[in-house]
């Protein structure tokens, strides 16, 4: 379950908050869509849930874990690929070997197929 309670977040230097007193509960075993125009806060919401951004107020929990703490028990259940990122100069096999331990349910068979 993902739960946001009274979350407020704004980027430094911005005159408006992206989220103000925002609350939502996303239940387990459900599929949700995240739709909206560019700049409406879709990526920001995902980064808040992953703990990559921190709300100025409110609480964000993923399966009961405080998202801001980025605990390994929470992070092993989450994967986000940002819009822009740089990969290290390693082979795919090396990258998998480095990162697979963080994801206990990772399957190399699924990756290859």
Domain residue spans in the chain?
Answer: 2-80
Q: In whole numbers, what is the pLDDT of the chain averaged over residues?
A: 91
pLDDT computed for residue 80 by the predictor:
85
pLDDT band at residue 63 under the 50/70/90 scheme: very high
- Asked whether residue 49 carries a pLDDT value surpassing 90, the answer given is yes
What is the architecture, at CATH level 2, of domain 2-80?
A: 3-Layer(aba) Sandwich (3.40)
Q: Rounded to an integer, what distance in angstroms lies between the CA atom of residue 55 and that of residue 95?
A: 31
- Could you tell me the two tokens for 83? 């819009």
Give the pLDDT of residue 113. Answer: 66
Burial 57-77 (b: 16+ CB within 10 A, else e): ebebbbeebebeeeeeebbee
Task: Please determine, for residue 2, whether its predicted confidence score (pLDDT) is greater than 70.
Answer: yes
pTM: 0.77
């Amino acid at each position: 379950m993902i739960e946001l309670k009274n979350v407020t977040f704004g980027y430094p230097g911005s005159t408006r908050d992206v989220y103000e007193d925002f609350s939502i509960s996303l239940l387990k075993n459900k599929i949700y869509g995240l739709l909206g125009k560019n700049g409406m806060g879709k990526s920001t919401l995902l980064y808040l849930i992953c703990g990559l951004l921190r709300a100025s107020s409110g609480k964000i929990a993923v399966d009961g874990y405080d998202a801001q703490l980025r605990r390994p028990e929470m992070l092993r259940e989450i994967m986000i690929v940002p819009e822009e990122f740089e990969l290290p100069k390693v082979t795919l096999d090396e990258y998998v070997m480095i990162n697979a331990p963080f994801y206990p349910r990772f399957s190399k068979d699924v990756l290859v197929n």
